[in-house]
Every structure is written in C-alpha cells, then in structure tokens.
Chains A and B, each alone.
Chain A
Amino acid sequence: MRYISELRPVERTLGFVLKAVVLAVFVFPFLWMVSTSLQTFQETLAFPPTWIPAAPQWINFAEAMSAGPFLTYARNSVTVTLSVIALQLIVMIPAAYAFAKYKFAGKKALFAMVLLAFMIPGQVTFIPVYLMLADWGIIDTLLPQIIPFMSSAFGIFLLRQYFMQIPQEIIESARLDNASEFAIIRKIMIPMSMPALATIALFSFVSHWNDYFWPLVMTDSAGVRPLTMGIAVLRETEGISNWHIIMAGNVVLVVPILLVYAIASKHIVKAFVYSGIK
C-alpha cells in the first residue's frame, strides 16, 4: 500500500518496537510461569523478582505431581479427549454426508436443530444432564465427560460445508463404478476431507483437553477427574503461596497443548477462525 513505503525509518522502528511490546504482553506470562516453576520458594519471594532461577529446581515438578493422583488425572485427560474425538468423528461423518448429499423430508428443520444446539451452552443444561446421567448410574465413570459431546454441532456444520464442495460428479462416478454408499464415504469422501477432519479433531482436542467446567460439575471423585481439575486444586493442597509448585503443575498442563500448537498451528488457527465466522 502506498502509505507504507512513505514511513520514515524512525516510524518503522517505532512500529516494530511497539509490536514487540504487544507480543511480550501476551507471551511473557507464559515465560514467567516456566521461570517460576524452576525457582526455589525463596526466589519467588525475592524483591526485585528473580528473572532466571540460579539453579533450575526440577524437584518442583516431582513435588507438584505427588500432590495428587496425577498419573490418573493425565490418563483421564488423554482418554476423555481421544474418546470424544473418535466418537464425534464416527457420529459426524455419516450425518454430514446425509445433510450434504441426500434430499429428504425435514432436512432443513433437522439441520436447524443442529445449529440451535450450537447456541445452547452446557452452562444451561448441566443440571438436568447430571441428573439424567446419575439416573443411568454412570456418574462415577469417565462417560459423563465423553458421551454428552458425541454430536459436535460445529463439526457437523463444517464437514457438511466441506462435503458440499466435493463435486456431485465424483460421487456419481463412484456409483457408476458400483461402489456402495459406505465405500464412497470411506474411499472418497474421507480421503478428500482430511484437512477438514484434522481441523475438527484439533478443535475438539483443544476444547476438551482444556475443559474445566464440565468435569467440575460431572465428577464426584478424584479417580475420574482430568488434569485441569488436578491443577486447579493444587493451591488448596500445596498451600496458597507455593507458586513455584503451582506453576510447575501448570507447565505440565500447558505443554501438550503448546506442543500440538507448535506442530499444527496453521490447522488450529483455521479451526478457530472457522468456529468464529462460519
């Protein structure tokens, strides 16, 4: 653009510095978390603050992890997240295909129902869902954190959009090649929709790994709780001012997400942009 090239070097440098400051505002808290997680208790109290610990205190991590059944928490987080993703994909693929490629009576109304479900938050429905699941006698399992999410409205919506873009002729070719509808989905639709499926899976991963509210209201015992809840109670079990231990636990919770973000940031960003603009 015309005015960009007109900027003088001073203005340019200023802009650069300003952007760096903004970046720091958003990234520094995480660096500070990592730094604190490696400090001694004394260092956390020091004034001025300790920017870089004298000797990294790895023991903080052991300390944090011994505060509760963290292995169980981690296993629960992994199980819940992966099961939700798998279940959602199994449920969503045939539904998205039917909504995208078949004509049937009531299609519009049924799809509107999917979108409506998108608008109703769990914060509204959690009490009746809890009562219902308690009735089924499965509150003390991981299921209450998995099955209520079997239908991902966002996923069905996005995948349907993607399926609709696949030319009808390709599907018709396959029908003329005597492929069953199941074979069409498995051998043509799914391979062609890999980017969308990856986007949806990553979005689910981030949402469910990070979830705090739902496990909080659905679980009654430590054995079925995820990492987020384990970390959140560290302040109670480890003492309010033991920030080095709390931050160590926090690092454990954040690292998997940051790793996935580092590997697939493009897909994740896309997933979130889609979830916003549709």
Chain B
Amino acid sequence: MASIEFVHVTKSFDKHVVIKDLNLKIEDGKFTVLVGPSGCGKTTLMRMIAGLDPQTSGSVLIGGKDVSRVAPGQRGVAMVFQNYAIYPTMSVRENIEFGLKNNKVPKEERTRLVESISATVGLQDYLDRKPATLSGGQRQRVALARAMVKKPSVFLMDEPLSNLDAKLRVQMRVELIEMHKKLGTTFVYVTHDQVEAMSMADTIVLMNQGQIQQEAPPETIYHLPSNLFAAQFIGVPPMNVGDLGEDGVKFGFRPENAVLSAEPGDNHFSVRGIIVTREMLGSETIYQVRSARHSFMVKCTEDLFTVDQEVCLGVKPDKMFFFGADGKRIERDDARFDGYMKALRGLSHE
C-alpha cells in the first residue's frame, strides 16, 4: 500500500507538451478515478506512475519514495490494460505465474498463490486453457488475477472495462469495487466515462488538456463543480448553460433541476419555450425546450408533455450556478452573486 505523488511533473513527446507542471497527490488505499475526455493525458499520467514512459521533468513518488529511476518491474505496481495484454502463447496459469517466476518466488509458494487468486476471480477451472479459448470477461479476469497475484502496493487500470459488453461492464464494476474493499490497496482507475467514474470512485480527478480541473469526491464534483468544464463533463445530459449578458458571466442549471409547467409558476428564473424533442427513457423523460435565446435540456420523472407544446421552464434560485468569464464557478458568498441573480430575473419571461 502506498500513496502516489506528482511533484511539478511535465511530460512531453518530442516537442509536444502533454502535461505541464502537474502536482497531484493520490491517497493511500483510496479508489481514485482519473476521468476526462479522450486525449487529455490520463494514460500518459498512469504510464508515468508505472514507469513505462517516465516523466520529462519533475518527480513521481510512490509511498513517499522518489521512483524516477526505478524500473517498472520494481516499483511494486500492477497494471491492467484496456486490451488485457495477456500473453497469448502461455496458459492461464503461466500468465498468472509469469511475474512470480521473474521475481524468483519458489514453486510451492507460486502454486499456492495461483490457486488462491484463481479461486478469488473464478478461474480455477480454466488454469490450463490458452487465452484464445476464453471469453472477453474471462480474459479480463486473467488480467486482474495476473495483477493481484503480485500483491502490488498500487493497482493501475487503464479503461479496463471498455472492451466488455454493457451488462458485463456493470457486473465487473461491482466486482472491482468489492475487490478494492477486500484488498484495501491504492487503486488508480482511468476512464473517459463519467458514469463509471461517479459510480466507482472515492476520489475523482477530473482532467482536461493535461491539466487537473477538479479533484474531489463524486458528490462534491456533482454538486459543487469548480468550473464550467467540470459542470458540463459530469452528468447526463450535461448542465444547461446560457449567457447572462453581463461581464461575460454564464449561468447554469442541471436538467433535473428545471420544472416544466403549462402555466408560468413563481420560480425565480422562468422562460417560455417550445418542446422540440422528447426522449422517453422509461423512468424519466428528457425534453429539449427551445426559448427565444436558448435551448435547454430538461429531465422529468413524469411524462406530461408532447412535442411542439408550449411550456414554461422554471428553476429555483438555490439550483442556479454562475461561472465567471474565466470559467470558474462564482461562490454563493461572493459579493457579485446577488447581482447576477437579479440580472437573471431580468432574463425571465422573454
């Protein structure tokens, strides 16, 4: 078990700087999810922890110790790759054993470890099979077993579920959470899927273009996004955003926090609009409402309206966010907050 720390880390490929002066501490024993759009540098960050592609400058610490000059195989980390990277010419047993053999673990010990780990992940009947004869889910388990058997102090996973079908993905999510509870090891999990991040993480590290946007537990990120990017990345559909028309400030509210009604209510923010699309998802319905100046998504638990119907859209003041011209969220106790709230009132009923 170990914490991970990035201190002024910069990574560039040739001349192209991917990560610039990044500082981050990943806590010991936590399930940390790195999330962000494709190409934002998540894999790069993870590979620096593993030592597969060392940083250009700065240092990476594992368990408080600078590992910048330690070979990947000696950092005490295990990694599960998106494509599993199973050794195709070795049997399941040989795959799991490979790391132990390289670390000169004696034979009896090896056999014992392989037996117990394969039982944990449910592979005991497949030990002598070749990977080609296994299903996607089973290969995933081989990759997990191969990582677990080394008793690493850090577990790295790079989009490990993205090659599985939707149903298996949900099942594996639960199993990974349980596995983390049982092992109590530091997990670093990379995904571009915010749903996966929200459902699994103790801490989410949200990245964009090589920079950390927010580092917080899922609830915090959702309820108190630190900037426009975080607000729009987390949540489906993303947060509705509109121009306030003052200081370049934007206002925003989540689709489930708007109320639709046939007649105008007494909400702080209220606009008239036409329903342009309706997506019925079963337990909820998503409407797209177009007003004179904006287009908003609204998530309702009840399915009361039809396309082309005219409706009123209202949002309560405590559900409203403001973002400054720099994208940062403006806190409720900020001096300007009330002024913006008033300005919003002026936008109503257009």
Contact = CB atoms under 8 A, between A and B. Distances in A.
On whether A and B touch (CB less than 8 Å), the answer reads yes
Interface of A: 167, 169-170, 172-180, 183, 187-188, 191-192
B257 interface: no
B171 interface: no
A188 B71 CA distance: 19
Contacts of B98: 174, 177, 179, 187
B73 interface: yes
User: What does DSSP make chain A's interface, helix, strand, loop or mixed?
Assistant: helix
Contact of A179 (B73, B85, B89): B73
Contacts of A170: 85-88
Given A172-B52, A178-B99, A191 B74 contact: no
B78 interface: yes
Interface residues of B, number: 24
B81 interface: yes
Given A173-B146, A187-B90, 12 more contacts: A169-B82, A169-B83, A172-B52, A172-B85, A173-B81, A173-B85, A176-B79, A177-B73, A178-B73, A178-B99, A187-B87, A188-B89
Contacts of B77: 176
A223 to B, nearest CB: 43
Nearest to A179: B102
A172 B156 CA distance: 13
B190 to A, nearest CB: 14
A169 B77 CA distance: 15
Nearest to A189: B89
B72 interface: yes
Interface string B48-85: 00101000000000000000000111100111011101
Query: Which of A173, A176, A179, A180 has the largest count of B CB atoms less than 10 A from its CB?
Result: A176
13 contacts: A170-B86, A172-B72, A175-B52, A175-B71, A175-B73, A176-B52, A176-B99, A177-B102, A178-B71, A178-B103, A179-B73, A179-B98, A191-B90
A178 B146 CA distance: 13
B50 A176 contact: yes
Given A177-B98, A178-B99, A179-B98, A192 B89 contact: yes
Interface string B83-126: 10111111000000011001100000000000000000000000
A188 B98 CA distance: 11
A175 B102 CA distance: 10
A191 B85 contact: no
A167 B85 contact: yes
Contact of A191 (B52, B89, B103): B89
B52 A178 contact: no
Most chain A CB neighbours (cut-off 10 Å) among B50, B79, B146: B79
A170 B99 CA distance: 13
A183 B81 contact: no
A177 B50 CA distance: 11
Report the 8 A-B pairs with minimum CB-CB distance, sorted nearest first.
A178-B73, A177-B99, A169-B85, A191-B89, A178-B102, A173-B85, A169-B81, A175-B72
Nearest to A190: B89
Residue from the set B77, B88, B90, B103 with the largest chain A CB neighbour count within 10 Å: B88
Contacts of A191: 89-90
A196 to B, nearest CB: 13
Contacts of B82: 169
A15 B81 CA distance: 55
A160 B130 CA distance: 25
B87 A174 contact: yes
Given A167-B83, A169-B81, A169-B83, A176 B72 contact: yes
